[in-house]
């Protein structure tokens, strides 16, 4: 098959302990999936899970290994927020799966940041419009190495922690997810047929806030490789 220009190169995430890369197919994100974060965003009830997407290209996905990476402060915002999240990597096709079977479709886990132009997101929300300008921009998804589930086991409880310039800003446990990883996969698989290469950002705990140029973020989840991201 010939194309009129060179197709994009898929984003490839590092895999812990391997020279191979994980090719990214789609990026799904769960909104308001920690109760305390939902409250700080103005909501105080357990809604069914809802989803939005980020792009899957190398202009949006930022693979992080061990060294710190730089990301540029984005345009058209004055309220640029961090959101640490557990990222789940799907390893095989999943359609209409049960909660009990959902973990079978997980390839592994990683630490991720769902960077957000909060002012643009909130403006779109107030107008009932899509969130893409607030969520789906360049360099909006730094993601660390994927740890295969075969090595770390199923993650249902782990400390999740983000610092900015050494100060703790977010701190919780993934056991506090409103919708667990398995529940999220099962629900999402009724809406889309998940495929190998899909990523799921599972939601962020309370404590989200703004960063500016020169700030250094450190995101960690127990058992996974943490990531350091500098805002330039």
HSE-up (13 A, CA, CB side) for residue 189: 23
Answer whether residue 208 is part of any domain.
yes
- 96, 103, 120, 213 from 186: Cα distances, Å: 7, 9, 31, 39
Can you say how many angstroms the Cα of residue 222 is from the centroid of all Cα atoms in its chain?
Answer: 16
142/30 Cα distance (integer angstroms): 16
Reading the chain (232 residues) residue by residue, the pLDDT tens digits are 899 999 999 899 999 999 999 999 999 999 889 876 566 666 666 678 889 999 999 999 999 998 999 999 999 999 999 999 999 999 999 999 999 999 999 999 999 999 999 999 999 989 999 899 999 999 999 999 999 999 999 999 999 999 999 999 999 999 999 999 999 999 999 999 999 999 999 999 999 999 999 999 999 999 999 999 999 9
Q: What is the CATH number of the domain that holds 35?
A: 3.90.850.10
Answer whether residue 4 is part of any domain.
no
Answer whether residue 27 is part of any domain.
yes
List the domain range (segments joined by +) for residue 208: 12-231
Answer whether residue 26 is part of any domain.
yes
Total domains present in the chain: 1
Strands (E), the chain: 12-14, 21-23, 27-30, 51-54, 61-63, 69-71, 80-82, 84-90, 106-113, 116-117, 141-143, 147-148, 159-164, 167-173, 199-201, 209-210, 216-221, 227-231
Answer whether residue 1 is part of any domain.
no
Answer whether residue 162 is part of any domain.
yes
Answer whether residue 5 is part of any domain.
no
Across 98-113, b (16+ Cβ under 10 Å) vs e yields eeeebbebbbbbbbbb
Residue 31 contacts by C-beta under 8 Å, 6 or more apart in sequence? 49, 50, 51, 52, 203
Answer whether residue 120 is part of any domain.
yes
Cβ neighbours around 38 below 10 Å, total: 19
Mean pLDDT of the chain: 95
Residue 142 backbone phi and psi in degrees, to 5? -70, 135
């Amino acid at each position: 098959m010939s194309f009129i220009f060179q197709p994009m190169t898929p984003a490839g995430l590092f895999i812990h302990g391997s020279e191979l890369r994980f090719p990214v197919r789609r990026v799904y994100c769960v909104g308001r999936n920690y109760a305390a974060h939902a409250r700080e965003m103005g909501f105080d009830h357990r809604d069914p899970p809802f989803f939005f997407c980020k792009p899957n290209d190398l202009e949006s996905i930022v693979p992080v290994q061990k060294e710190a990476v730089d990301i540029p402060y984005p345009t058209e915002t004055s309220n640029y927020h961090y959101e640490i999240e557990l990222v789940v990597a799907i390893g095989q096709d999943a359609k209409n799966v049960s909660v009990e079977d959902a973990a079978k479709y997980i390839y592994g886990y990683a630490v991720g940041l769902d960077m957000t132009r909060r002012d643009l997101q909130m403006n779109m929300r107030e107008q009932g419009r899509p969130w893409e300008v607030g969520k789906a921009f360049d360099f909006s998804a730094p993601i660390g190495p994927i740890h295969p589930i075969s090595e770390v086991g199923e993650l249902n409880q782990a400390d999740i922690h983000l610092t900015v310039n050494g100060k703790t800003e977010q701190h919780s446990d993934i056991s506090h997810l409103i919708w667990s990883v398995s529940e999220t996969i099962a629900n999402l698989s009724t809406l889309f047929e998940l495929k190998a290469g899909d990523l799921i950002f599972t939601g962020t705990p309370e404590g989200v806030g703004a960063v500016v140029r020169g700030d250094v973020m450190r995101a960690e989840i127990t058992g996974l490789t943490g990531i350091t991201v500098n805002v330039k």
